[in-house]
Amino acid sequence: MPEVDKADRRPAIEAKNVSKVFQGAAQDRVTALDAVSVTIRENEFFTLLGPSGCGKTTLLRLIAGFDFPTEGEILLYGEDIAPLPPHKRPVNTVFQSYALFPHMTVGQNIGFGLEMLGKSKAETAARVDQMLKLVQMQELKNRRTSQISGGQQQRVALARALAPHPKVLLLDEPLSALDYKLRKEMQIELKRLQHETGITFIFVTQDQEEALTMSDRIAVMSRGKILQIGSPREIYDRPAERFVANFIGETNFLEGDTVSTQADRAMVRLPGGATVDAGLPQGLKPSGKVTVVVRPEHADIVKAGQPATLAGALSNIVYFGTDTHFHVALDTGGEFIVRHQNSRGNESAFAVGEKVGIAFEPDAAQVLRD
Amino acid sequence: MATAREIAEAAERRDIRQRWLLSAPALVVIFFAGIGPLAIMVVYSFLEKSGYGGVVWKFSTAGWESVFFQRDIFDDTLQFADAHLSIFWRSVKLSVITTFLTLIFGFPTAFFIATRPERTRDLWLFLITIPFWTNLLIRTFAIQEVIRNEGIANTVLIKLGIISQPIQMMFTDFAIMLGMTYVFLPLMVLPLYASLEKLDFRLVEAGYDLYANRFQVLRRIIIPLVKPGIIAGSILVFIPCLGAYVTPRVLGGGKNLMIGNLIELQFGQGRNWPLGAALSITLLIIVVAALLVYVRQASKSGQRHG
């Protein structure tokens, strides 16, 4: 299966210790990227995820060639692309604002890159038609870009960037301007396009859900650094840092004491006395106090008296349609949230104020690096 | 009893009266400053000249005839007025070249200003407008000081040993073009800047991203997008160029007349007001015709591009 293959593929983009400092007066100096290293493999859907200002767009612009790194190097298939201006890099960008040329038609926009590469008229026309078909926009070929909807503009921007067969496609928050439903559609569409074209996608977003659903691998960024790189599952189930755990999904944080450690696991004593077997981030050998995270859906709520890891009183029950959140005030202080998926006939047997226990699923706990 | 319909009609009449009243000041200005003088010109061009300036109130097409023709002094036949036509031609030629020169110099200037940080742009614009603070005549004499035979340019070149004889620049078409380019440059820079400032530079990045080099980005993306500024600037420069009076008078001397000088001559020494009026209207027609052609051409090519 592709998941296995992709790990062996050769690197498409390698960033080695890349830093970017925006010069200015002393107080204006901004370190947008701080010694970032990452390898993005061929044919991978790679996502840079982080809040605004974390440096993800800066990294994208360095790869595109709009900015130049202060330090470090960026390799494209093993070749340093630092000396190349953007128009000589076999890399295309889908801009956040789409940046479609308003004085050209849809077809002219899509053909622009090919025309600049000196392709013949016939070849350009054929490729434009092919791209229009790929994004299902054939009938809008001769429209002005101002005469089509946001979602259609998005498709044109994609087709325009894909038309010249780039080795890597950069996508700078391309879905952020679309409404929820269209965004969902385009997520699937993008995934399909990536699959069909076999082009390496580097996707920048601050939407964790988008990142989880679309990516082969995700790099979570904050303040100019990459905090963790991994598959969506790894990032979600095994966050290595507090920021990652917090930024992606909902999490319960528990303070505990290390009892013993093995290669990649540790026994941690939680407040209240129970001991859990928790996963460790790579290379971490904890001792003493540690923070443990547990996702709300990796724990279950049980009646008092039954075997449980934690104990408390039910303080709130929130119904969400697909699932229900149980807020538990722990006896040792703090709050723990349990998410329970709803199904017909399992209406809650619990009442607010009731004493309850919280049982962890096996392997639910994960130790953080900080 | 007034019916609802009568009341509505009365209200509408009141409304119309009010509208006329409110637009009266503008109409007065348009009439006295625009239509009125123009009408006088048209009327005067069809009157007979009086020997001491002014006109005789008698219908005559002599003024219009002498715009295009001259009566041979020996056999009284009509011939094309080469002098007038060549002056018209020179005026159009110099104006077109000047417009082109201001575009060539104005575009990089406006681009430079538009790409400065927002805080410093106002300063640059302010510097561009400084020449406007000084009287046109004084600025023109300043240019004369630079290019005359004993002027700064020639002196420097001779001192440097590049030339041994001063280059004759005064009283040439070159001097007129230099003067007009200098005087009208801000009129090109400002509308160009207004267009460039609105230009979305992400489109420029998109152009580079799609393998366009600098020149292709300029030609295929920037120029089509700032075309309104180019059109506005060209119009603002071309029209006053065509009617320029001071610059050709001071820098062009007596030989290198432009239409403006020819017209002035008819109302002054020539004492031929009907001819002056006819020449003025001809100038007006040339300007309007040139504008129509230019704007139509420009907007057509704009559409073709996308």
Q: Considering CB atoms only, which of A86, A97, A104 is closest to B209? A: A86
Q: What is the pLDDT of residues A14-27, one digit of tens each?
A: 999 999 998 876 66
* Residues of chain A with C-beta less than 8 angstroms from the C-beta of B205: 66, 86, 93, 95, 99
Q: Which residue of A has its CA nearest to B226?
A: A103
Q: Considering CB atoms only, which of B202, B210, B224 is closest to A103? A: B224
Provide CATH 1.10.3720.10 ranges for chain B.
Answer: 82-304
Domains delineated in chain A: 2-237 (3.40.50.300), 251-367 (2.40.50.140)
**Which ranges of chain B does DSSP label H, i.e. alpha helix?**
4-29, 36-45, 62-68, 82-114, 118-129, 136-147, 152-159, 173-198, 201-209, 214-217, 223-225, 227-242, 246-252, 259-267, 273-304
User: Alpha-carbon distance B66 to A366, whole Å?
Assistant: 100
Q: Are strands A30-41 and A11-22 parallel, antiparallel or unpaired?
A: antiparallel
Token readout for B77 is 């036949």
Task: Give the list of residues 6+ apart from residue B50 with CB closer than 8 angstroms, or none.
Answer: B56, B271, B273
The answer to whether B7 faces chain A, any CB pair under 8 Å, is no
The answer to whether B206 faces chain A, any CB pair under 8 Å, is yes
Q: State the pLDDT confidence band at A281, using cuts at 50, 70 and 90.
A: confident
Q: Which helix (H) or strand (E) holds A365?
A: strand A365-367
Query: What class does CATH assign to B82-304?
Result: mainly alpha
Is there a contact between A145 and A100 (Cβ–Cβ < 8 Å)? yes
Is there a contact between B124 and B113 (Cβ–Cβ < 8 Å)? yes
| Residue-level pLDDT, tens digit, chain B, 306 residues | 678 888 899 999 999 999 999 999 999 999 999 899 999 999 999 998 887 878 888 898 888 888 888 777 777 777 777 788 888 898 999 999 999 999 999 999 999 999 999 889 999 999 998 888 888 899 999 999 999 888 889 999 999 988 888 888 888 889 999 999 999 999 999 999 999 999 999 999 999 999 999 999 999 999 999 998 999 999 999 999 998 888 998 898 877 888 899 899 888 888 889 999 999 999 999 889 888 888 887 776 555 443
Give the ipTM: 0.82
* Residues of chain A with C-beta less than 8 angstroms from the C-beta of B203: 99, 101-102
The answer to whether B305 faces chain A, any CB pair under 8 Å, is yes
User: Alpha-carbon distance A241 to A255, whole Å?
Assistant: 14
Q: Considering CB atoms only, which of A99, A144, A164 is closest to B206? A: A99
User: Alpha-carbon distance B107 to B230, whole Å?
Assistant: 9
Is there a contact between B263 and B275 (Cβ–Cβ < 8 Å)? no
The answer to whether A117 faces chain B, any CB pair under 8 Å, is yes
Helix/strand/coil for B135: coil
- In the structure, how many helices (H) and strands (E) does chain A have? 9, 20
For residue B79, list its beta bridge partners: B70
Identify which of A84, A95, A33, A90 has the alpha carbon closest to the alpha carbon of residue A59.
Answer: A33
Q: Which residue of A has its CA nearest to B206?
A: A99
Length of chain B equals 306
Identify which of B253, B277, B110, A335 has the alpha carbon closest to the alpha carbon of residue A356.
Answer: A335
Identify which of A40, A45, A52, A38 has the alpha carbon closest to the alpha carbon of residue A206.
Answer: A52
